[in-house]
């Protein structure tokens, strides 16, 4: 009995399309009879022992579906957008198609038939997918407003080139508004408009955005973001949120603030504010788990105390 030909190495590690198999010299009948190859859906195959990996699955799905693009939660994960915890590890496969193509009918794939402009779709590392901005809009039908604000704040924030290797935001509020206006009948568009009204440039993390929203819900005036101790000094320490006229600085310290070097940096930052007469309030993951209920009480108390301080209420601090 003749031994079967060895399987091409480039098709062993991840899902592949029928076209990729034929390009490697394999016929469809060979794939059907191959013991360790499974048919996923029309024109798609995978090694039986393959461990699921989202980008590989999305790449093969994109290649097998001309005219369609990866979207929604799948696109958000591939872009590295910060999703809420209940979606951050999702392996859902979302595929969108324009209205002039048949609906998506693939096992294990969530299909969407949508209208999209050319500038809302891009080709990234071998995958056609929705842009970050369009992904944000698509998720408006699923995410609560606070989570949608967090995603939006992430897209419009000013990057730090020394850490992120980019100098411009992923998008702007104005660009998002224009996109929303183009899709007046899209599910979730009302929620998207509400989120746009709450988004601000300056939030460096989702917890910072959620803290700001919790403050607004608690009736606290809207804080300034990225508050510099010395306004015209590019090297000045800054607070995540704060009230310059009350000398109240608010910090949200995430997980990386537990690293030793960051602890020393945070201490220097806080001492600088305190030496200048500011009240420094620091919050963390326990406050996030509490939906910032106790945090907003502390902020209210600090603002009341500052208002009663003659040096602050007289406007003495405004030049600091």
Question: Where is the domain boundary, 147, 173, 201?
Answer: 201
Question: Where is the domain boundary, 182, 201, 220?
Answer: 201
Give residue 213's domain range.
202-320
127 and 260: one domain?
no
163 and 125: one domain?
yes
Looking at the structure of the chain, the number of domains it has is 3
61 and 23: one domain?
no
User: What value, to the nearest 5°, has the Cα angle with vertex 204 and ends 165 and 280?
Assistant: 130
238 and 294: one domain?
yes
CA nearest to 186, candidates 104, 114, 109, 136: 114
Exposure b/e, 211-247, CB count within 10 A at least 16 = b: bbbbbeeeeeeebbbbbbbeeeeeeebbbbbbbbbbb
Residue 212 maps to which CATH number? 3.40.960.10
Residue 164: predicted pLDDT:
83
104 and 129: one domain?
yes
226 and 311: one domain?
yes
CA nearest to 216, candidates 302, 109, 292: 292
Stretches in the chain below the pLDDT threshold 70: 1-13, 18, 21-22, 24-35, 37-41, 43, 45, 47-50, 255-261, 308-320
178 and 212: one domain?
no
34 and 44: one domain?
yes
Residue 2: predicted pLDDT:
46
CA nearest to 15, candidates 58, 74, 67, 79: 58
104 and 181: one domain?
yes
110 and 164: one domain?
yes
Q: pLDDT tens-digit profile of 12-70?
A: 667 777 677 667 666 666 555 555 766 666 767 676 666 778 998 999 899 889 999 99
């Amino acid at each position: 009995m003749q031994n079967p030909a060895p399987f091409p190495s480039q098709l062993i590690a991840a899902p592949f399309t029928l076209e990729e198999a034929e390009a490697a010299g394999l016929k469809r009948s060979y794939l059907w009879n191959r013991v360790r190859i499974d048919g996923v859906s029309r024109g798609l195959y995978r090694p039986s022992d393959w461990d699921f990996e989202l980008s590989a699955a999305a790449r093969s799905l994109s290649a097998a579906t001309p005219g369609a693009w990866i979207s929604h939660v799948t696109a958000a994960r591939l872009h590295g957008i910060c999703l809420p915890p209940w979606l951050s590890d999702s392996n859902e496969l979302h595929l969108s198609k324009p209205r002039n193509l048949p609906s998506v009918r693939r096992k294990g794939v969530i299909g969407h038939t949508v209208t999209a402009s050319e500038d809302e779709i891009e080709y990234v590392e071998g995958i056609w997918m929705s842009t970050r901005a369009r992904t944000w809009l698509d998720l408006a039908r699923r995410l609560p407003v606070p989570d949608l604000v967090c995603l939006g704040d992430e897209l419009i924030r000013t990057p730090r080139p020394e850490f992120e290797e980019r100098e411009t935001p992923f998008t702007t509020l104005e660009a998002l508004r224009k996109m929303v206006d183009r899709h007046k009948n899209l599910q979730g568009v009302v929620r998207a408009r509400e989120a746009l009204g709450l988004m601000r440039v300056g939030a460096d993390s989702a917890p910072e955005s959620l803290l700001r929203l919790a403050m607004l819900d608690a009736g606290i005036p809207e804080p300034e973001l990225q508050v510099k101790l010395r306004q015209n000094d590019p090297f000045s320490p800054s607070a995540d949120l704060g009230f310059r006229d009350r000398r109240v600085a608010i910090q949200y310290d995430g997980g990386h603030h537990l690293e030793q070097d960051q602890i020393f940096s945070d201490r220097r930052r806080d001492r600088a504010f305190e030496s200048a007469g500011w009240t420094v309030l620091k919050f963390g993951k326990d406050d996030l788990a509490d939906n910032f209920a106790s945090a907003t009480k502390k902020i209210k108390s600090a603002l009341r105390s500052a208002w009663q301080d003659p040096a602050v209420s007289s406007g003495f601090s405004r030049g600091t």
